[in-house]
């Protein structure tokens, strides 16, 4: 099989979660060889390979990329999907909780981008970072998550400039609330969800499959001249 004929390889972090599973399923269905990266090496059935990843460790990030290259031959697409949240009033939030969210959402994204750069630069690849509308609009009670996602959006812009010479495109996707383990604590909260849906012009949550479709488009040849951008999959939240 020639370089032009081979299947592209996608490395997806946080692959065992709800959005991660949707990402792996969608990319696999559209011709990617999927390498799932998560704690303990957990992976959805659609992933052809699985690697263990702890985003808090630069060594683990580099080892995960090396394992992906060893198993699949290369990495053409890095999807930085893994993330955590912690809701609560900022004035009473323990400092260690703040550090945990920053360590995973921002520092982990940086580590994976840095670790994947050599593989992505070989043939010109793609990075798609998972941002959030919380990084674009202020959401009370979610300061840590919003700040880290705003930083991910800025990191996306900067890397798109720095890595354009290596033919690496770097973009982000910013969904509003998606049914997942991360949002399970509020999905059954009628008061919270009434207010949340009222803030979404299209009036509903985002499906994981809709997030996956946006990620796939950004990585596709159809988006060959798109870099440094954040695509909002948010029903209009960010235009208010």
Q: Indicate the SS3 state at residue 224.
A: coil
* Set 32, 117, 145, 192: catalytic member: 145
Which CA distances in Å does 107 have to 13, 21, 32, 40, 83? 14, 23, 27, 20, 11
CA 189, CA 27: separation in Å to the nearest integer? Answer: 32
At 232, which helix (H) or strand (E)?
strand 230-233
Q: Indicate the SS3 state at residue 146.
A: helix
The token pair that represents 185 in the structure block = 């604590």
Is 117 in the active site?
Answer: no
Which CA distances in Å does 214 have to 152, 172, 175, 222? 17, 9, 10, 12
CA angle 137, 141, 144 (to 5 degrees): 75
Report the catalytic residues: 145
């Amino acid at each position: 099989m020639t370089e032009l004929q081979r299947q592209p390889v996608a490395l997806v972090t946080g692959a065992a979660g709800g959005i991660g599973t949707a990402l792996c399923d969608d990319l696999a269905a559209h011709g990617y060889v999927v390498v799932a990266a998560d704690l303990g090496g957990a992976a959805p059935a659609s992933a052809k390979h699985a690697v263990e990843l702890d985003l808090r460790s630069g060594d683990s990030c580099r080892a995960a990329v090396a394992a992906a290259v060893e198993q699949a031959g290369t990495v053409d697409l890095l999807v930085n999907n893994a993330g955590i949240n912690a809701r609560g009033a900022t004035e009473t939030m323990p400092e260690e909780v703040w550090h945990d969210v920053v360590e995973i959402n921002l520092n982990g994204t940086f580590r994976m981008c840095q670790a994947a750069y050599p593989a992505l630069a070989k043939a010109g690849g793609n990075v798609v970072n998972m941002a959030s509308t919380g990084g674009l609009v202020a959401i009370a009670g979610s300061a840590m998550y919003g700040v880290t996602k705003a930083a991910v959006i800025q990191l996306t812009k900067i890397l798109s400039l720095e890595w354009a010479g290596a033919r690496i495109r770097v973009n982000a996707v910013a969904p509003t609330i998606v049914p997942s383990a991360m949002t399970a604590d509020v999905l059954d909260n009628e008061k919270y969800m009434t207010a949340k849906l009222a803030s979404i012009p299209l009036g509903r949550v985002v499906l994981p499959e809709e997030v996956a479709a946006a990620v796939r488009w950004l990585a596709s040849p159809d988006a060959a001249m798109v870099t440094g951008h954040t695509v909002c999959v948010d029903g209009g939240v960010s235009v208010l």
